[in-house]
Each structure stands twice: as C-alpha cells, then as structure tokens.
Amino acid sequence: MHALLLLLVLTLTVIAQKKPTAAPSKKAPPTTLPPKSSTPSAGALAVSDAADASALDAQGAALSTYCERHSAPEPPLLRALRDETTAVYKEAARMVSGPLQGRILTLLAATSQARRVLELGTFTGYATLCFAEGLGPEGTVHTCDIDPMACDIAQRYFDQSPHGRKITVHRARASEVLAAARKGSDKVRMAMINGCLSCLVTTRVS
C-alpha cells in the first residue's frame, strides 16, 4: 500500500514537471503620441499680446492717477488751455504735456535754476507755461513752432499768465531758432524737443 502511494506521488510529480509553461504574453508597444508643438499659434499670441497690453494700460492708468493725487494741482489756466486744445485739435490734443508732466517740468525748471530754456515745438503752449512757472524772475523761455493756429492759441494764454512775460515765441523752424541760440551770449541750460523733430528741423545741427 505504501509502495503504491509512493508510486502515485512520484508519477504525479513527474507529470507536473513535464507540464509546459505558458509562453509569456507579448506586450503591445506603447502608443507614441506626436510631440506637442512648443510654438504657440498666431491666434494665441495675439490674445496674449492683447491681454498684456490691457494689463499694462490698466497699471499705467492706476499709476498716473496715484501720481496726480499726490502732486500739486493743475492751475486753472492750464486746465482751460488743455480743454480748448482738446476741443480744437481732437485726437491730436494728445500732444499736450498734461498735468502730471507739466508739474514735473515746472519742478525741473525750478530745481535746475535755469535762466534760459529752449523748447522746440510750442503746440498750444502747455509745457511752455509750465517751464515759465518754474523759472525765476529773470528766466526766459524761447519756444518755436510753425503751426499758426497753435501759436495763436498759445499766445492768448501766455498773455493771460503772470509768467507770460518770460516767454518769447518764434514762429519759425527749429533749425533757425537753434542757429540763433548758438550766437547768443546766455547759454541754454535746459532744452526740450516737444514735437515731431522731422517737422521742426530742416538742417543738421551740430
């Protein structure tokens, strides 16, 4: 009996050892997706640029508002000049310096202790009046422009200002005014190009 049991165990063991093992399953190769393009489309770039520009405009407006609140107030005469310039020149009125820049020009003229300021491009005279405001009693502003209507508006406001006597308007091109300035004995301490240079200068100035 024991011999039969031993034989059965040995037989089953041999059969188990001879049982073929299952072949390993072949894995399917992974699906390779085409690489994503790292270059954004033109539409995406346009949307991104527009968003960036809008954000910068908002930040610039907020900064301008903050600075204006903490700066000296705009004089009533300059506000009236700015309003008239807007009414007459419409979109071109953006060339006006404006209250914040105007207060800076007045501060620069005062702290530099300049006696003579040269402005190339009067337009309607906003920046000119700001320069004159910052100068001392003996200071002068020489300004030039070739737009007769702008010069007429500017002169009306110069005549209304207590600083108007410091201003000399030259209805001429900048090249002519610069040539005359070089011959003067009193040196120009401060100068500003306040307009389109190609419209103001016709000859090279060394």
Cα dihedral sign, 114-65-121-158: negative
The answer to whether 195 and 127 are in contact (CB under 8 A) is no
Reply yes or no on whether the pLDDT at 17 is more than 80: no
Query: Worst-scoring range by mean pLDDT, 3-17, 36-50, 147-161, 180-194?
Result: 3-17
Residue 12's pLDDT band, with cuts at 50, 70 and 90, is: very low
Instruction: Tell me the pLDDT tens digit for each residue of 105-119.
Output: 999 999 998 899 999
**Between 43 and 66, where is the model more confident?**
66
Reply yes or no on whether the pLDDT at 2 is more than 60: no
Cα gap 145→164, rounded to integer Å: 17
Reply yes or no on whether the pLDDT at 85 is more than 70: yes
Cα gap 177→138, rounded to integer Å: 20
What tokens appear for 95 in the block? 């060339």
The answer to whether 105 and 134 are in contact (CB under 8 A) is yes
Reply yes or no on whether the pLDDT at 38 is more than 70: no
Cα gap 73→68, rounded to integer Å: 8
The answer to whether 107 and 99 are in contact (CB under 8 A) is no
Query: Worst-scoring range by mean pLDDT, 12-21, 57-66, 94-103?
Result: 12-21
Could you give the angle at the alpha carbon of 59 between the alpha carbons of 53 and 63, nearest 5°? 145
pTM for this prediction:
0.68
What does the pLDDT read at residue 194?
A: 83
The answer to whether 123 and 96 are in contact (CB under 8 A) is yes
* Domains of the chain, residue spans: 68-200
Instruction: Tell me the pLDDT tens digit for each residue of 115-157.
Output: 999 999 999 999 999 999 999 999 999 999 999 999 999 999 9
* DSSP 8-state assignment for residue 176: H
Residue 50's pLDDT band, with cuts at 50, 70 and 90, is: confident
Reply yes or no on whether the pLDDT at 18 is more than 60: no
What does the pLDDT read at residue 54?
A: 83
Reply yes or no on whether the pLDDT at 202 is more than 70: no
* DSSP 8-state assignment for residue 117: E
What does the pLDDT read at residue 124?
A: 96
Residue 203's pLDDT band, with cuts at 50, 70 and 90, is: very low
CATH 3.40.50.150 fits 68-200, yes or no: yes
Q: Which residues make Cβ contacts (< 8 Å) with residue 101, sequence separation at least 6?
A: 127
Buried residues in 38-48 as b, exposed as e (16+ CB within 10 A): eeeeeeeeeee
